Structure 1
Amino acid sequence: MNASSNPIEISFELAASRCADLTPLVYQRLFDAHPETQAMFRSDGRDLVKGSMLALAIEAILDFAGQRRRHFRLIACEVVSHDGYGTPRELFIAFFAIIRDCLRDLLGDQWSIEIASAWDQLLVEIDAFAGAAV
C-alpha cells in the first residue's frame, strides 16, 4: 500500500492508529461546544446514528479533500436535509471543525503545519460549497 501524500488523509490515518472509534470523542466535543445538539439525538443507549453520521461525514471529507468522485456531494445534500430539521447552517458546518479539532488533539505533536493548513483550507471550501447548496 502506498502512503498518502494528502494531509487530510494522513490526519485520519494517524488518528486511526491512536483511536479505534472517533464517535465518542467527536460527539462529546460537539455536545460540549453546542449543548443544544444533544437534544437532536435520541438517547436509546446506542450510538448507531451518531456513528453512521460520522462515517458518512468522514467519507465526504476524504472525497472532498481528494478526487471528488461522489461522496463529497453528500455535504450539499445533508446541508439541505439538516435545514429541514431546523439545524442552522453554521452548526452543520461546525461539525466538520469539531472533527478537525478531535483529530488535532489525538495527533498532538504530529499535527503538522501542512495538516493544519490543509484542514483550514478544507473548512473554508466546505463552507463555500455548503453555502452554494442553500
Structure 2
Amino acid sequence: MNVSPNPIEQSFERAALRCADLTPLVYQRLFTEHPETRAMFRSQGSELVKGSMLALTIEAILDFAGERRGHFRLIACEVTSHDAYGTPRELFIAFFAVIRDTLRELLGAEWTPDIVRAWDALLVDIDTYAAAQA
C-alpha cells in the first residue's frame, strides 16, 4: 500500500484497513454527542442518505486537505443548504469533528501527533471557510 504523505488522507487510509464502512460508527457518535440530530433523519431510507452524506463529506474533506480541485466546494454549498434546513452552523461544523473523533477512536495508537495537528488545523480551516460563506 502506498501511504499518502497527507496526514488527513493517512487517517482515512488506516481507518479503511480496520473498517469497511464508517457510516454506522460516525452516526452512532453523532447521535450520542448531538441527540437532536436523530430527528433530522427520516426513519425510512435514511441509511442511504447517511451513507451518501458521509461519502460526500469525506470526499470534500480529502479535497479540502489536499489539492482543492473542486470537491471541497461542497462544504460551501452544504453550509447554505443546511442553513436553509435550520441546522445551526455549529452543528454543521460539529459533523467534521465527529468524523475526526471516530477515526481517532478507530486508529487508537496509530493516531499520530502529525495526524492530530493536521486534523486540528483542518477543523479550524473548515470553520473559517464555512463562516466566510455566510
TM-score between the two structures when normalised by the length of structure 1: 0.97
The C-alpha deviation readout for 1:70-116, integer Å capped at 9, x for no partner, is 00000011011000000000000000000000000000000000000
**Paired AA for residue 98 in structure 1:** V
- In structure 2, C-alpha distance between the alignment counterparts of 1:56 and 1:131, rounded to whole Å: 20
Residue aligned with 2:68, SS: coil
- CA distance in structure 1 between the aligned counterparts of 2:46 and 2:90, rounded to whole angstroms: 27
Match of 2:87?
Answer: 87
- Which residues of structure 1 form unaligned runs of 5+? none
Secondary structure at the aligned position of 2:127 is classed as helix
1:118 aligns with 2:111: no
**Percentage of pairs with the same residue:** 75
SS in 2 for 1:97: helix
> RMSD of the alignment, in Å?
1.0
Give every structure 1 segment of 4 or more consecutive aligned residues whose post-TM-superposition deviation is greater than 4 Å: none
Q: Aligned ranges for residues 1-134 of structure 1 at < 5 Å?
A: 2-44=2-44, 47-134=47-134
The alpha carbon displacement at 1:2 in A equals 3.9
Amino acid at match of 2:120: D
Gaps of 5+ in 2: none
Normalised by the length of structure 2, the TM-score is: 0.97
**Cα distance between partner residues in 2 of 1:21 and 1:122:** 22
